[in-house]
Amino acid sequence: MTVMEQRGAYRPSPPPAWQPRTDPAPLLPDAEPYRVLGTDAAGKADPELLRRLYAQVVLGRRYNAQATALTKQGRLAVYPSSTGQEACEVAAALALEERDWLFPSYRDTLAVVARGVDPVEALTLLRGDWHTGYDPYEHRVAPLSTPLATQLPHAVGLAHAARLKGDDVVALAMVGDGGTSEGDFHEALNFAAVWQAPVVFLVQNNGFAISVPLAKQTAAPSLAHKAVGYGMPGRLVDGNDAAAVHEVLTDAVRHARAGGGPTLVEAVTYRIDAHTNADDATRYRGEAEVEAWRGHDPVQLLERELTGRGLIDEDKMAAVREEAETMAARLREHMNQDPVLDPMDLFAHVYAEPTPQLREQQALLRAELAAEAEEGTAR
């Protein structure tokens, strides 16, 4: 048959019926970030939970101030402060059960501490002393992740594996707005949704990725909207409202535990301090913007709710502040001691089987240290 004859025989028909594979409407985030504090919804919040959140955010604020001071004194190499973001940090830790796992980024020391990790041990990595510093298995907290978004596929892998094994485990992974531009973010969300893995992704949209504002990061209507493209629900929440973040994350954790799959939560917040002690934020943002966010402070929002409704008295607030001071004093005391470190530990716990290159470097360092020691004794 010639080509012309074939064309003549071709009878076009309508394509098989098409319909969206999932209805996108229920996946869409609300038009406004969800709020509890200062609204009618606060009346339904458990007073004990509000007091717990308050104690933790006060502790967190003091931790940030102390760790930042330690960088200025040269006792801590770097500290990415979460001042202004304490509500997200604390709510993330408190939304999980003991059997769950937390996957933090470098900015999430407070979440790690709120989950039960020793406040001093949580700073080991940022001091440059050693590997993670804490035992990830003890409180089910993965190492603070410096390579952006790499913690997300880890969280999905762990959650999916747990589900295959029949273990009741939910993973909550934290990431910044800048991290949402990473390939790892895309891969993690895609796998999580396809596998219906029990994962909750918490994006803390704090306005900046170092000096890059959100407007230069994405053209999406909101970061929560990104969820729809992967086929999971997106939720938008006021990231400075600890009660709201706690409620949204608790719902998402419950949904994941019940087999409903992953959720992407965007918490709208603001990074009050510079990116780290190595950054000068005045070079890329104005004081008026920072001041506006100081007026929507996570610690003050909780304090106003609790005092306004008579749920806390001055004695209890003083006790919380005192506990924070004790914690800060302990941080100072430990960080002012010089650690005794073995440089050879650099090579430990990197690979189960070290690579030939690592073995070579290990031998070089060993020889250097031995030569130094010999020089020292000869002198």
Ligand X SMILES: Cc1ncc(C[n+]2csc(CCOP(=O)(O)OP(=O)(O)O)c2C)c(N)n1
Q: Which of the residues 62, 163, 235, 275 is marked catalytic?
A: 275
CA distances 293 to 40, 84, 125, 269, 350, Å, are 23, 8, 30, 8, 41
Between 193 and 202, CB nearer to ligand X: 202
Residue closer to ligand X, measured from CB, 163 or 275: 275
The question of whether 63 is a catalytic residue gets the answer: no
Q: How far is the CB of 331 from ligand X (least distance, A)?
A: 21
Which residues neighbour 48 within 8 Å (Cβ) at sequence distance 6 or greater?
A: none
- Smallest separation, CB 23 to ligand X (Å): 31
- Spatial distance between the Cα atoms of 124 and 65, rounded to a whole number of angstroms: 17
d(C-alpha 67, C-alpha 193), whole Å: 37
Min separation Cβ 186 and ligand X, Å: 13
Residue 169 Cβ vs ligand X, minimum distance, rounded to whole Å: 25
255 is known as an active-site residue: no
C-beta pairs of 338-345 under 8 Å, 24+ apart in sequence: 339/127, 339/129, 341/129, 341/130, 343/369, 344/369, 345/130, 345/131
DSSP 17: P
* Comparison of 107 and 160: residue with beta carbon closer to ligand X: 107
Helix (H) or strand (E) holding 104: none
Catalytic residue, from 35, 51, 284, 285: name it. 284
What are the Cα distances from residue 31, in Å, to 28, 34, 237, 293, 297? Answer: 9, 9, 10, 20, 22
CB-wise, 61 or 275, nearer to ligand X?
A: 275
Catalytic site includes residue 271: yes
Binding site for ligand X (CB under 6 A): 107, 146-148, 176-179, 206, 208-210, 271, 275
- Residue in 144, 118, 143, 131 with CA at minimum distance from that of residue 63: 118
β-strand pairing of 208-209 with 212-213: antiparallel
Distance CA 36, CA 304 (A): 13
Q: Which is nearer to ligand X, 36 or 110 (CB)?
A: 110
**Cα separation, 326 vs 2, whole angstroms:** 90
Question: Which C-beta is closer to ligand X: that of 33 or that of 178?
Answer: 178
Residue nearest to ligand X (CB): 176
Residues 172, 103: contact at Cβ < 8 Å? yes
Residue numbers annotated as active site: 271, 275, 284
